[in-house]
Structure formats: structure tokens, C-alpha cells
């Protein structure tokens, strides 16, 4: 047989030959296999490194700190972009010394301070990045930065509005240097408006944005507004910004023009308040907190059971706290079944209509009855009883349960990576599953300025003596 | 004094705001074990502290003594302060005992070195240039001041 | 906006019944300051000395300048088949706000979300001005810029039509239980044959494959948020610990007030979709299969929790309104609500202390003198949190949110009140920036909604054209445009129960 110069569908290629009639490896008919098996093959985490990357060739400059703005770059990096993180020389990102209860650190942070580690708080907002240093205040910095921008697709920054403009590297200046640049500003209050210079944190976004107002137990139950664990608004707003960046890239394909995105994380928090604003605007009703229950559906909430599965465990998080179950039975049939299981058929007779069940008084009664029923059972017993009855009940997982849950391992969500610098680290890989171009984590982070030579010398072509001079001046 | 209750014994008991926001009951001083009654409504102290000779309802979470160089009674000291389930499994990890760890949970090597020497202060912390700046502003801004960082020079770390 | 219409302001009323609260509010009650005032020549700000940056931003980025600008995703066609869950709705509305043509494909009786009223109160329904058809505020808010068509996918004919529609689609969003669409012959395997460029995204709680995949109850009830949140240890680590707030007062693991697991999955899914779109346009020309789940998306936000567990077996505990990683970085109760104060670095830490020292020198002394609290990282220890926040709250008890905010902001500390929904709608900065805006909808009149966070852009801002639509409003338009099915045929299909027609 004649040898083809280019085989459009080489064996083992996952990328260029859908629709997949056949499994490229085994030759099995993909149409015939069960759906779950099909998914398993499509999203197979073992095939991760055989598949291409979605954003190959994209270059992103991340002039960022904390979580919100670095996350844009980290996610681009997971999708295959080349992301360059610019930090202040020696000092680095303040997030580097943020660690839960000051406990968990990985070493070293820089080569000149071997005794200092980087905190786990830095994790995951900075993976796959290259780390360079640049002191924007220095007179030489502007040209260096222009050189980076000239060859980049996008950049993110988080300094107070107008700071980059004063340094000569704001959007009005950079769009002259590179009109294709997608410039995203991520901050709390945005670039215009009366409070534009206000600083912001994730928790501030939650507080003023509205999420705090609706999370936690109601005042009448003695509750307080509750913070969502781990910086929800930073992470999710960063992704929202990334949506803007990727959409702008689609527009840029047609026009060759970039854009400036002014993203306020408070606005993202406000976006996540559901029906609160239409309800207020039309009826003047102010949405309140409603604890572990749901304002739209009932039964659809979290209940406390009598005891944990392992009351002897030394860690109180296991022995005391792991005793909650999420129960969902909001459709009529499910609710009826639930009422019979907990021995309260009167509740079903009383609240047989879905609307009635959601009323606050009904919810209080129903959930109390549920907790009473569960008070002499352990978490796994409750889950087992309800699941065996064909209802939906999920234990409230702790980190230990997540770690021990087979599901997340086989899906490649949890994954040990062999970090080139830090060794064996567990990460969340592949948050979104993609059949062709899955995202991936290559390294968690690197020390401050670890890639100065790689970027300034190998990418931009600055001669080494020049870099040495800049380094001695403290510019990089 | 309300939330931090400085007892006559010199110990300051910290009544954490959320627990005591709406509270009526008796609290035991961690320092001298005497009990006082408090009543808070929406954060305002309405009654107390009135000393009573009864069993305490609740213990403070933390107490320290300014007159003894801020000697502290840590969270979860038996009979003194109440325990905190949110506490991580090993209190020594954040109270200053160096932990040298090169292995992770499943026993594989991770990159870690001994923590900072004792003289650097609390274990695993990092210092900043600006907290060392004890000199006044004119001294600091004076160009002749030898400690001032300038482009092109590193200040040696001590 | 005409002001006369809402002249009656602040009506005192006695509330005896839910109906008594149903009073339309004027919005905004107080107009924000005008641009001329904010950037007036006498407002000399060293951060923008000549005012040129402010002018550039106001001229180019302001959300009111968005009208007439191009759309980023112009020409992209999205079929949103999701019902019940919010993830698909979030993804669809982000795509729609950025200019994609989003067609919501609903079953004949409509997406159940349409009838999920807060606390089951039908009084909170929005009525279509023309037909009186009721819809819940949730649906209105989450399904912006979407066309609504009805199509019964359970019928053979409906699926046939769906396949013909899928030929035109760039993106399909779907959240039916795993394998449902595949069984119906309209899953990714089948559709990618007729439209290889198709990007097909599935949203769910736990996944469509794996040992703990999404399932339905024996009566067919789906898994919905917060299943994913529970399974991702979000719930475990959110809420007040029983040590800070007794369990009977809510010292429990707490779910989010909104379905944030779905929101995050929706956003992650959208990122995946747009990355796939980039890859399709620039490299392969082919679409792909995408799966975003609440549990996994949220686990990414819980970044280090699991890594920390793997590091030394730590399990993150709940800590209420505080944060174990930063100090100060928390909200604590104050005179009239809750006040958030953040300042971790020494610079900010001592500024906060200076403010407190003005009114409470003894408390400030306790913090300032303590050698344990002198070092930034050491302050994150639990003792540091307890001590700092106790003293701060002691100061806050005598300060209202507004006072505390003013005092802290005078020293450039990032501090802000915990605002209730009505206060957010009236907060000057947010009104000025349009975080909350009023949409004049053809069917529902003026509707107050939270704006897209991507509305502030130089070239391709996101905009809300309309809010959620009446069921099947666009049947005529969409079927005629993409399938060539006219009214006569539609009536026939409606009789067969495949779709609906206006007067049948």
C-alpha cells in the first residue's frame, strides 16, 4: 500500500477525527457502547497528555496579586496559554504568605530567602505560570513591559484604577503599543464611579455585593450572615472575567481589535443573588437569609443527624462535625415517600402541594420532623435508608470524604502531580471536562523570579549582561 | 470593658463577638476562676459583669495577661478556656514549635526545609522591610541614611 | 426614567399579611451624583492628577456608552435545553449577554423554574402584560437575552425537529440526567455526526460518569444544587462553628443562600465552551463534548482544602464570618448590622489599629503591645483571630456601619458594610455603575435586575436586552427561520403535542 504523506486520521488521534465511529485505540464501535462507557473514554483522564491544548500560542501577562486576577491567568494557563506572572522583585505576591492558620507552606519562595516558604493560599491561582519580576516604578520598567505586551494576547491587572496609567502602562497607552491586546482590570469597585479608589477583597465583595445578605441562618433563628468558604467571589469573578476575555478573543478574530474589560467583583456577587433584585424592585420585598433550607423547593436542604460514623476519630471534624446530610425530595412522590419513611404521613397530608411545602412555617415543621427522625441515626444510616428507598440524599463531605471518594479520582478531578520544584502535591485537575482539549495542571507555582532568564533572555532576547545590570539596579 | 473583660486579677478574657452577641449567663474568668454574670443584647452590655458564686455556663475562648508580657491561656485549656472544634489537629503547629516536614500525607517527599530560626520571631512567619523602619521620617528620607534601599544595592539580611 | 410616576415615596404601612408588603418601590430613591460632580475641577485627586484617565474611562468604558457597540459573540447560536438547574441558565445568559443568539428549548409545560416562587408565594409572580401569564422572579432574572421555544423532546417528532435545529447550532447546553439525550438519539455522539462543529456542554452536580454520577430518585426527581456543594466539602467548611455560635442558633455547616454551585459550574462551563470555540475557530474546526459539574467546579474554588489535607491531613473547619488565612479579614457585628474590615499587611493592620485607638485606646493597646500579634503571618493563628476580632467588635458595637466605613476609608482601609438587598440597590456607587439596573421589558414592564459583570468594556460590552421570556414566545420566529416551519405546520405540530402555538 502506498504510504500517505499526511494521514488525516492517524491512529490514536483524538482530535481530528470526530465523529468517532471507532475507538482510535481498540477499534471498538463507539456508537454501540453504553453511554457511560462512551463518556469514560471521551473524558479519560489517562489520555490527558495525549490531547492538544485549546489555547496553544496564546500569551497572557498577569500583573496580578491575590486570587481574583491571577485566576484569569491560571485558567488560561490550564488551557494551554503561556502565562507570565509579573511580581515585585523580592517581595512577590502578598498571597504567597497566606496560609490557613499559618500552617502549610512549601519551600522555597525565592533563592535569596531559602528559609521562607510560600503558603498554600497561593495554590491554584498561579499554576502553569512563568514567574518574572519587574519593579514598575523603575524608569526602565516601561520599555520592558511594552516589549512583553507587544507579543501578548491579553493581560490582567488589579492595581487601583489609574495606577498603571500613571506608570505609563495603562490601557490608553498599551492599546497604541498593541491594538490586539485584551486588557482586563479586575477589582472591587471598578474604574469609574464615586468609590472607584476603594480597595477590595473577596470578603468585601461578598459583604457589599449581596451574597452575605442571603447566606446563613435567619436572624430569627439567632443566625448571622455567613461567609462563603474560601473566597468564592475572587475565584468566580476571575472566571467571569475570563469569559469576557475569551469572548473578546472571538471578536478580535474578525476585527483584529482587543478590548478593555473593567470587571468589578462586587458586581459578580450581585449577579449571584437570584431573584433578590426583581423581587425587591417589583414588590419591595427584601430577600433574607434562609439557612440550610431552600426558598424555592422543599424538601431540599441539609439536616443534622444524631451522630457521625466515626465518633472515636481524634479529629473533631470527623468525630463531631461529619454528621450532616443533604436531603432532596421536593417532588410530590418523593416527598410522600419521605414522609412515610420518617413516620410522619400527617406531614404529607398537610403539605401535599409543592407550594404549601415551601412556605416558611411548613419548612420549619418538616425539617424539624426530619431532624427528629434522624437524631438517633448516624450519617451513613440516614443516607442509606433514604437511598435504599430510592430518594436522593447525599452526605455532607469533609475533605477526608472527598479524598476518599473514588468518584473524583476516577474522573481525574483529584490528582497527584509531581511538581518539578515542590514534589508531590495534590491538586484539583481538570475542573471542566473537555473531550478534545482538557485543561491540565503542570506545576503549582515557582519561586519569585524563577523564570526571569527564560522570559527576558530566551523570549525577549535581552542579553544577559543587560539583565544583570537590571537585576543589580533592583528592577527585576 | 465588655468583650474583653479585664478582671481585677489582671487577666483579660476575650468574649468572642458572635457567641456573646445575644447572651445571658455566667462566664468564668480564665485567670482566677471567679464567675460573673453578663447580659448582652445585640452586642450591648445591659447587665454585668456582676460577680456571682455559682457554676459558670460558659468559658471564654482565650485570655491573656498584659501585665505578664501577654502570657496567654490558649484555646481549649482544660477548665480555663473552652475548646474549639475548628482547631486544627495539632495545636503546636501554630503556636511556635518548629515542624520539619519533608513528606506529605501519603508519605512522599515534598519540598520543605526547617522553619525560621527562633530569633526571627514566631515560627514560619516572614518579616517585612517596613516593620524594621523604626527611625523617624526625616531620618528615613534622608539620602545619607545608610539603611535606605537604593536601586542597585541589596541590603544584607541580618 | 420618568420620575413623576413614582412620586409616592416612603409609605408607612402596617404589615399584617404578605400582600401588604407588595408595594412597588421607586428606584433609585436617591440619584447618584453626576459625573460632572465626581470629576469636577476642584476634586483634585493625586491618583488621577489631570483627570485624563477618569475621562477616558467615563467616555469609553461606562456602561451607558455600551449602546450601539458591537457584540462579542455575534452570530453564535446556542441551544439551551437546560431546565431546573441554574448552571445552564447562567452559561446561557452570559453567552446571551455577550451577543450570542440563545434559544431556550423548553418542554411544553415550560421549565419548572418558571413556577418556583420564593416560599411558594404566587403573589411574587411577574405577569405578562399581554397575557397575564405568571412567571417566577427567578426565571426572569436568570434567563436574560434568551428566546423561548417549546419543543417536546419526548416525542419522536420533537427530536427530529431538534436534530434539524442542532444543525445550525454552535453550542448546545443540556442538563438532563446522564444519558437521557443519548438515549433519545440527540446526544453528543449522534449530533456530532450531523454537526461536527457542535460544542456540546452538559451540566450537572456530580458527573455523567463515575461511581457517584448524577442519578434520579425512583420517581424521577433530579439532583439539584446543593448536592454538588455538599459533595465538594463546601458545606462542611461554610458556616459558623458550634464554638462561636451554638448549633441551635445556626452553628452548623451552612449552604449558600443562592445556588452558587450551579453558578460556578455555569461559569466554568462557559469558560470551557469559549476555549473550545477558540480551538474550533483557530485550529480544528471541530466541536467537542464538555462536562461541568457543581461539585468539581466548586472544588476548584476550595483550592487548597484538599491539597492541605494531602499535605498533612488537615481538614478545614468552618469559621463563620472570619477567615483562617488572613487577619484582619472578616465581618463582625456592629451597631446596626455587620461590618467587614480587611487589612492584612502591617501597613493596613496598624491603620486599622489607629482608627480603633481613637475611641478604644485600651483595646488597641491589647493588640498593639502583644508580641504575638506583631508578625503578619503569626496573626492568622486562631488566638490571633479571636483576640483581634473581639477587640474590633468591641469598637464596632458603638459604631454604625456608615460611621465605621467612613472612619476606615479615611485611612484607605478596605472596609465595607454587609449590605442588605435594598441597600445594595440604593448604594450610590452601584447605581452609578449600573451593577443593578432597571430593564424595561416588553412583557413584564420595569424589572430591577443585577447587571452583567461584563457590562463595562471598551469594545464589546455585555448588555441585557430583555429578561426571561413568556413560554414559547418565539416559536413562530425560530421555527420559521431555522426550519422553514410556518404557522400551518406549527398548528399541526401543536395538535400532536410536539410544540405549542399561540392560540391552540
Task: Tell me the chain A residues in contact with residue B114 when contact means C-beta distances shorter than 8 Å.
Answer: 115
Other Cβ atoms less than 10 A from the Cβ of C18: the count is 13
Chain A residue whose CA is closest to C284: A16
Task: Report d(CA C460, CA A252) in Å as an integer.
Answer: 10
**Whether the Cβ atoms of residue C233 and residue C198 lie closer than 8 Å to each other:** no
Judge whether B84 is closer than 8 Å to chain C, CB to CB. Answer: yes
Judge whether C410 is closer than 8 Å to chain A, CB to CB. Answer: no
Per the CB < 8 Å rule, is B151 touching A474? yes
Other Cβ atoms less than 10 A from the Cβ of B93: the count is 21
pLDDT of residue B140: 59
**Whether the Cβ atoms of residue B60 and residue B15 lie closer than 8 Å to each other:** yes
Output DSSP code: residue A225: B
CATH 3.60.10.10 fits C77-154+166-300, yes or no: no
Task: Tell me the chain A residues in contact with residue B88 when contact means C-beta distances shorter than 8 Å.
Answer: 100-101, 103
**Whether the Cβ atoms of residue C372 and residue B65 lie closer than 8 Å to each other:** no
Task: Report d(CA C162, CA C165) in Å as an integer.
Answer: 5
Question: For residue C44, is pLDDT > 90?
Answer: no
Per the CB < 8 Å rule, is C288 touching A435? yes
**Whether the Cβ atoms of residue A274 and residue C141 lie closer than 8 Å to each other:** yes
Q: Is the dihedral of CA A310, A320, C316, C237 positive or negative?
A: positive
Measured CA to CA in angstroms, residue C78 lies from A244, C85, C95, C102, C198 at distances of: 17, 17, 8, 5, 10
Q: Which residue in the set B94, B106, B108 is minimally distant from A102, CB to CB? A: B94
Other Cβ atoms less than 10 A from the Cβ of C306: the count is 25
Which of these, A189, A316, A302, B44, lies nearest to C257 by C-alpha position?
A302
Q: Report DSSP letters for A41-93, one per residue.
A: HHT-GGGGGGS--TTTT-EEEEE--TTHHHHHHHHHHHTT-EEEEEE-TTT--
Task: Report d(CA B95, CA B72) in Å as an integer.
Answer: 11
Phi-psi sector, B106: left (phi>0), alpha (psi -120 to 50), beta: alpha
Best of C240, C393, C399, C418 to disrupt the B interface (most B CBs within 10 Å) is C393
Task: Report d(CA B87, CA B90) in Å as an integer.
Answer: 8
Task: Tell me the chain C residues in contact with residue A313 when contact means C-beta distances shorter than 8 Å.
Answer: none
Per the CB < 8 Å rule, is B21 touching C333? yes
Which of these, A322, A347, A323, A328, lies nearest to A336 by C-alpha position?
A347
**3-class DSSP state for residue A349?**
helix
Per the CB < 8 Å rule, is B18 touching C240? yes
CB-based burial label for A284 (10 Å; 0-12, 13-18, 19+): middle
Q: How many residues does chain B have?
A: 158
Q: Is the dihedral of CA C194, C196, C198, C201 positive or negative?
A: positive
CB-based burial label for C7 (10 Å; 0-12, 13-18, 19+): exposed
Task: Report d(CA C459, CA C464) in Å as an integer.
Answer: 16
Per the CB < 8 Å rule, is A436 touching C279? yes
H or E segment to which residue A314 belongs: none
Residue A203 half-sphere exposure, CB side, CA atoms within 13 Å? Answer: 29
pLDDT of residue B11: 87
Task: Tell me the chain B residues in contact with residue C366 when contact means C-beta distances shorter than 8 Å.
Answer: 4, 12, 64, 66
Task: Report d(CA B11, CA B31) in Å as an integer.
Answer: 5
In this structure, what are the phi and psi dihedrals at residue C429, rounded to the nearest 5 degrees? -60, -40
Residue pairs between chains A and C whose CB atoms are closer than 8 Å: 698
**Whether the Cβ atoms of residue C320 and residue C385 lie closer than 8 Å to each other:** no
Shortest Cα distance, chain C CAs vs residue A33, angstroms: 11
H or E segment to which residue A331 belongs: none
Strand order across the B35-41 sheet? B23-28, B35-41, B44-52
Per the CB < 8 Å rule, is A113 touching B111? no
Percentages helix, strand, coil for chain A, rounded to the nearest 5? 40, 15, 45
Output DSSP code: residue C75: T
Long-range contacts (CB closer than 8 Å, 24 or more residues apart) made by C278-284: C278/A54, C278/A55, C278/A246, C278/A249, C278/A250, C279/A52, C279/A54, C279/A55, C279/A436, C279/A437, C280/C197, C280/C199, C281/A250, C281/A253, C282/A253, C283/A52, C283/A56, C284/A15, C284/A16, C284/A436
Q: Is the dihedral of CA A38, A39, A45, A48 positive or negative?
A: positive
Shortest Cα distance, chain A CAs vs residue C501, angstroms: 28
Chain A residue whose CA is closest to B114: A115
Judge whether B142 is closer than 8 Å to chain A, CB to CB. Answer: no
Task: Report d(CA A259, CA C458) in Å as an integer.
Answer: 5
Judge whether C107 is closer than 8 Å to chain B, CB to CB. Answer: no
Per the CB < 8 Å rule, is B110 touching A224? no
Question: For residue C285, is pLDDT > 90?
Answer: no
Interface of C with A in 159-198 (CB under 8 A): 178-179, 182-183, 187, 189, 192-193, 196
**Whether the Cβ atoms of residue A366 and residue A334 lie closer than 8 Å to each other:** no
CB-based burial label for B151 (10 Å; 0-12, 13-18, 19+): middle
Task: Report d(CA C373, CA C379) in Å as an integer.
Answer: 5
**Domain A59-270+430-473: CATH architecture, name and number where available:** 3-Layer(aba) Sandwich (3.40)
**What integer is the mean pLDDT of C310-325?**
81
Q: Report DSSP letters for A124-188, one per residue.
A: TSSTTEEEEE--TTSTTHHHHHHHHHHT-SEEEE-SSTTHHHHTT-SHHHHHHH-TT-EEEEEES
Whether a cis peptide bond, with omega within 30° of 0, leads into A426 is no
Judge whether B43 is closer than 8 Å to chain C, CB to CB. Answer: yes
pLDDT of residue B128: 33
Average pLDDT score over chain C: 88
Task: Tell me the chain B residues in contact with residue A425 when contact means C-beta distances shorter than 8 Å.
Answer: 104, 110
> Could you state, in order of their start, the residue ranges of all structural domains in chain A?
11-42, 59-270+430-473, 300-404
**Whether the Cβ atoms of residue B58 and residue B30 lie closer than 8 Å to each other:** no
Domain A300-404: assigned CATH number:
3.30.1540.10
Shortest Cα distance, chain B CAs vs residue A412, angstroms: 18
Percentage of chain C lying above the pLDDT 90 cut: 57
- As a three-state string, the secondary structure of C345-411 is CHHHHHHHHHHHHHHCHHHHHHHHHCHHHCCCCHHHCHHHHHHHHHHHHHHHCCCCHHHHHHHHHCC
**pLDDT tens digits, B43-78:** 888 887 888 888 888 898 888 888 887 888 888 788
Q: Which residue in the set A108, A222, A424 is minimally distant from B110, CB to CB? A: A424
Task: Report d(CA C496, CA C485) in Å as an integer.
Answer: 15
pTM summary value: 0.89
pLDDT tens track, chain A, 476 positions: 454 454 444 444 444 444 456 666 666 777 778 899 999 988 988 888 889 999 999 999 999 988 889 999 999 999 999 999 999 887 788 787 777 666 566 655 555 555 566 777 788 888 899 999 999 988 889 999 999 999 999 999 998 888 999 999 999 999 999 999 999 999 889 999 888 888 778 888 888 998 999 998 888 888 889 988 878 898 999 999 999 999 999 999 999 999 999 999 999 999 999 899 999 988 888 899 998 899 999 899 999 999 898 888 878 888 888 899 999 999 999 999 999 999 999 999 999 898 999 999 999 999 999 999 999 999 999 999 999 999 999 999 988 899 999 999 999 888 888 887 777 888 887 789 999 899 999 988 888 888 888 999 999 999 999 988 888 888 87
Judge whether B85 is closer than 8 Å to chain A, CB to CB. Answer: yes
Best of B122, B127, B133 to disrupt the C interface (most C CBs within 10 Å) is B122
Per the CB < 8 Å rule, is A259 touching C457? yes
Task: Tell me the chain A residues in contact with residue B157 when contact means C-beta distances shorter than 8 Å.
Answer: 113
Other Cβ atoms less than 10 A from the Cβ of B106: the count is 11
Q: Which chains touch A (3 or more CB pairs under 8 A)?
A: B, C
> Could you state, in order of their start, the residue ranges of all structural domains in chain C?
77-154+166-300, 329-418
Task: Report d(CA A54, CA B97) in Å as an integer.
Answer: 46
Judge whether B98 is closer than 8 Å to chain C, CB to CB. Answer: no
Judge whether B95 is closer than 8 Å to chain C, CB to CB. Answer: yes
Judge whether C376 is closer than 8 Å to chain A, CB to CB. Answer: yes
Q: Per the CATH hierarchy, to which homologous superfamily does domain C329-418 belong?
A: formyl-coa transferase, domain 3 (3.30.1540.10)
Judge whether C73 is closer than 8 Å to chain A, CB to CB. Answer: yes
Other Cβ atoms less than 10 A from the Cβ of A222: the count is 15
The ranges of chain B with pLDDT < 70 are 1-3, 7, 85-102, 109-141, 143, 145-158
Q: Which residue in the set C226, C317, C416 is minimally distant from A208, CB to CB? A: C416
Task: Tell me the chain B residues in contact with residue A474 when contact means C-beta distances shorter than 8 Å.
Answer: 149, 151-154
Output DSSP code: residue B34: -
Best of A230, A238, A332, A374 to disrupt the C interface (most C CBs within 10 Å) is A230
Measured CA to CA in angstroms, residue A63 lies from A71, B57, B143 at distances of: 11, 52, 31
CB-based burial label for B34 (10 Å; 0-12, 13-18, 19+): middle
Task: Report d(CA A267, CA A204) in Å as an integer.
Answer: 11
Output DSSP code: residue A3: P
Judge whether C57 is closer than 8 Å to chain A, CB to CB. Answer: yes
Question: For residue C7, is pLDDT > 50?
Answer: no
pLDDT of residue B102: 61
In this structure, what are the phi and psi dihedrals at residue A200, rounded to the nearest 5 degrees? -150, 155
Judge whether C38 is closer than 8 Å to chain A, CB to CB. Answer: yes
Shortest Cα distance, chain C CAs vs residue B107, angstroms: 9
**Whether the Cβ atoms of residue A397 and residue C234 lie closer than 8 Å to each other:** no
Which of these, C375, C391, C255, C374, lies nearest to C330 by C-alpha position?
C391
Hey, which residues does A60 pair with through a beta bridge? A83, A154
Instruction: Tell me the pairing of strands C77-80 and B35-41.
Output: unpaired
Amino acid at each position: 500500500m502506498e504510504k500517505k504523506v499526511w494521514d488525516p486520521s492517524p491512529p490514536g488521534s483524538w482530535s481530528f477525527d470526530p465523529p468517532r465511529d471507532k475507538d482510535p485505540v481498540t477499534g471498538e464501535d463507539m456508537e454501540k457502547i453504553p453511554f457511560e462507557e462512551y463518556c469514560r473514554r471521551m473524558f479519560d483522564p489517562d489520555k490527558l497528555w495525549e490531547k492538544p491544548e485549546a489555547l496553544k500560542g496564546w500569551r497572557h501577562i498577569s500583573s496580578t496579586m491575590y486570587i481574583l486576577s491571577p485566576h484569569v491567568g491560571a485558567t488560561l494557563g490550564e488551557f494551554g496559554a503561556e502565562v507570565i506572572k509579573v511580581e515585585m522583585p523580592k517581595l512577590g505576591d502578598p498571597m504567597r504568605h497566606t496560609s490557613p492558620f499559618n500552617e502549610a507552606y512549601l519551600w522555597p519562595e525565592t533563592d535569596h530567602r531559602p528559609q521562607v516558604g510560600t503558603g498554600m493560599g497561593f495554590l491554584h491561582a498561579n499554576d502553569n505560570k512563568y514567574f518574572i519580576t519587574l519593579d514598575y516604578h523603575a524608569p526602565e520598567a516601561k520599555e520592558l513591559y511594552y516589549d512583553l505586551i507587544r507579543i501578548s494576547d491579553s493581560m490582567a491587572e488589579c492595581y487601583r484604577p489609574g495606577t498603571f496609567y500613571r506608570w505609563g502602562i495603562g490601557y490608553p497607552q498599551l492599546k497604541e503599543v498593541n491594538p490586539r491586546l485584551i486588557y482586563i482590570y479586575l477589582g472591587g469597585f471598578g474604574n469609574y464611579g464615586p468609590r472607584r479608589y476603594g480597595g477590595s477583597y473577596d470578603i468585601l465583595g461578598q459583604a457589599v455585593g449581596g451574597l452575605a445578605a442571603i447566606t446563613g441562618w435567619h436572624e430569627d433563628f439567632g443566625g448571622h450572615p455567613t461567609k462563603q468558604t474560601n473566597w468564592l467571589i475572587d475565584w468566580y469573578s476571575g472566571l467571569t472575567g475570563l469569559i469576557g476575555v475569551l469572548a473578546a478573543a472571538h471578536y478580535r478574530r474578525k476585527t483584529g481589535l482587543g478590548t478593555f474589560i473593567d470587571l468589578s467583583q462586587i458586581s459578580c456577587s450581585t449577579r449571584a443573588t437570584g431573584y433578590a433584585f426583581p423581587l425587591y424592585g417589583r414588590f419591595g420585598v427584601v430577600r433574607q437569609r434562609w439557612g440550610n433550607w431552600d426558598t424555592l423547593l422543599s424538601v431540599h436542604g441539609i439536616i443534622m443527624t444524631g451522630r457521625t460514623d466515626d465518633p472515636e476519630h481524634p479529629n473533631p471534624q470527623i468525630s463531631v462535625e461529619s454528621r450532616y446530610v443533604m436531603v432532596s425530595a421536593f417532588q410530590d412522590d418523593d416527598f410522600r415517600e419521605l414522609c412515610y419513611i420518617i413516620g410522619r404521613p400527617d406531614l404529607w397530608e398537610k403539605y401535599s402541594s409543592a407550594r404549601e411545602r415551601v412556605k416558611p412555617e411548613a419548612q420549619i415543621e418538616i425539617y424539624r420532623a426530619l431532624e427528629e427522625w434522624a437524631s438517633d441515626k448516624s450519617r451513613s444510616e440516614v443516607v442509606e435508608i433514604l437511598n435504599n428507598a430510592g430518594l436522593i440524599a447525599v452526605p455532607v463531605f469533609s475533605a477526608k470524604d472527598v479524598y476518599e471518594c473514588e468518584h473524583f479520582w476516577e474522573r481525574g478531578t483529584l490528582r497527584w502531580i509531581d511538581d518539578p520544584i515542590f514534589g508531590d502535591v495534590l491538586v484539583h485537575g481538570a475542573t471542566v471536562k473537555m473531550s478534545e482539549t482538557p485543561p491540565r495542571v503542570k506545576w503549582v507555582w515557582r519561586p519569585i523570579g524563577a523564570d526571569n532568564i527564560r522570559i527576558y533572555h530566551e523570549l525577549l532576547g535581552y542579553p544577559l549582561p543587560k539583565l544583570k545590570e537590571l537585576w543589580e539596579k533592583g528592577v527585576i | 470593658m465588655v468583650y474583653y473583660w479585664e478582671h481585677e486579677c489582671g487577666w483579660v478574657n476575650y468574649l468572642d463577638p458572635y457567641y456573646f452577641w445575644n447572651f445571658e449567663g455566667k462566664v468564668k474568668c480564665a485567670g482566677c476562676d471567679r464567675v460573673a454574670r453578663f447580659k448582652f443584647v445585640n452586642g450591648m452590655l445591659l447587665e454585668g459583669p456582676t460577680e456571682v458564686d455559682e457554676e459558670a455556663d460558659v468559658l471564654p475562648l482565650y485570655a491573656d495577661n498584659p501585665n505578664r508580657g501577654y502570657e496567654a491561656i490558649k484555646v481549649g485549656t482544660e477548665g480555663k478556656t473552652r475548646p474549639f472544634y475548628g482547631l486544627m489537629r495539632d495545636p503546636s503547629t501554630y503556636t511556635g514549635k518548629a515542624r520539619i516536614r519533608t513528606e506529605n500525607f501519603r508519605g512522599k517527599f515534598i519540598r520543605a526545609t526547617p522553619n525560621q530560626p527562633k530569633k526571627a520571631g514566631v515560627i514560619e512567619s516572614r518579616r517585612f522591610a517596613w516593620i524594621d523602619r523604626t527611625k523617624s521620617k526625616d531620618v528615613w528620607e534622608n539620602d545619607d541614611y545608610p539603611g535606605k534601599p537604593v536601586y542597585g544595592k541589596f541590603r544584607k539580611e541580618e | 426614567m420618568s420620575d413623576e410616576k413614582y412620586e409616592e415615596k416612603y409609605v408607612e404601612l402596617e404589615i399584617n399579611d404578605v400582600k401588604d408588603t407588595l408595594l412597588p418601590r421607586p428606584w433609585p430613591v436617591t440619584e447618584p451624583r453626576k459625573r460632572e460632580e465626581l470629576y469636577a475641577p476642584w476634586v483634585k485627586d493625586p491618583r488621577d492628577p489631570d483627570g485624563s484617565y477618569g475621562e477616558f474611562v467615563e467616555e469609553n468604558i461606562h456602561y451607558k456608552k455600551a449602546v450601539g457597540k458591537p457584540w462579542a459573540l455575534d452570530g453564535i447560536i446556542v441551544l439551551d435545553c437546560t431546565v431546573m438547574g441554574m448552571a445552564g441558565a447562567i452559561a446561557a445568559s452570559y453567552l446571551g449577554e455577550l451577543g450570542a443568539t440563545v434559544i431556550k428549548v423548553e418542554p411544553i409545560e415550560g421549565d419548572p423554574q418558571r413556577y418556583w416562587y420564593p416560599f411558594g408565594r404566587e403573589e411574587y409572580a411577574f405577569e405578562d402584560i399581554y397575557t397575564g401569564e405568571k412567571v417566577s422572579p427567578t426565571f426572569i432574572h436568570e434567563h436574560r437575552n434568551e428566546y423561548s421555544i417549546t419543543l417536546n423532546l419526548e416525542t419522536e417528532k420533537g427530536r427530529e425537529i431538534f436534530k434539524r435545529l442542532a444543525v445550525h447550532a454552535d453550542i448546545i447546553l443540556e442538563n438532563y440526567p446522564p444519558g437521557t439525550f443519548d438515549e433519545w438519539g440527540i446526544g453528543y455522539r449522534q449530533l456530532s455526526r450531523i454537526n461536527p462543529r457542535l460544542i456540546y456542554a452538559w451540566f450537572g452536580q456530580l458527573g455523567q460518569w463515575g461511581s457517584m454520577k448524577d442519578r434520579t430518585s425512583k420517581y424521577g426527581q433530579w439532583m439539584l444544587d446543593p448536592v454538588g456543594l455538599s459533595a465538594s466539602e463546601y458545606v462542611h467548611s461554610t458556616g459558623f462553628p458550634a464554638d462561636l455560635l451554638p448549633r441551635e442558633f445556626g452553628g452548623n455547616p451552612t449552604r449558600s443562600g443562592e445556588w452558587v454551585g450551579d453558578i460556578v459550574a455555569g461559569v466554568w462551563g462557559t469558560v470551557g465552551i469559549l476555549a473550545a470555540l477558540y480551538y474550533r475557530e483557530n485550529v480544528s474546526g471541530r466541536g467537542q463534548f464538555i462536562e461541568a459539574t457543581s461539585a468539581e467546579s466548586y472544588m476548584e474554588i476550595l483550592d487548597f482544602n484538599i491539597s492541605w489535607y494531602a499535605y498533612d491531613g488537615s481538614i478545614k473547619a468552618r469559621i463563620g464570618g472570619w477567615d483562617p488565612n488572613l487577619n484582619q479579614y472578616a465581618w463582625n457585628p456592629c451597631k446596626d448590622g455587620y461590618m467587614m474590615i480587611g487589612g492584612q499587611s502591617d501597613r493596613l493592620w496598624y491603620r486599622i489599629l489607629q482608627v480603633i485607638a481613637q475611641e478604644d485606646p485600651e483595646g488597641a493597646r491589647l493588640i498593639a503591645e502583644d508580641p504575638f500579634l506583631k508578625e503578619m503571618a503569626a496573626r492568622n493563628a486562631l488566638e490571633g483571630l479571636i483576640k483581634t476580632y473581639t477587640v474590633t467588635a468591641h469598637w464596632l458595637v458603638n459604631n454604625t456601619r456608615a460611621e465605621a466605613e467612613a472612619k476606615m476609608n479615611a485611612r484607605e482601609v478596605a472596609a465595607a458594610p454587609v449590605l442588605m438587598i435594598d441597600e445594595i440597590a440604593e448604594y450610590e456607587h452601584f447605581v452609578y455603575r449600573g451593577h443593578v439596573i432597571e430593564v424595561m421589558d416588553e412583557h413584564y414592564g420595569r424589572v430591577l435586575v443585577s447587571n452583567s459583570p461584563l457590562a463595562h468594556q471598551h469594545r464589546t460590552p455585555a448588555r441585557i436586552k430583555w429578561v426571561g421570556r413568556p413560554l414559547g414566545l418565539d416559536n413562530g420566529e425560530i421555527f420559521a427561520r431555522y426550519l422553514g416551519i410556518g404557522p400551518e405546520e406549527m398548528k399541526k405540530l401543536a395538535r400532536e403535542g410536539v410544540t405549542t402555538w399561540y392560540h391552540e
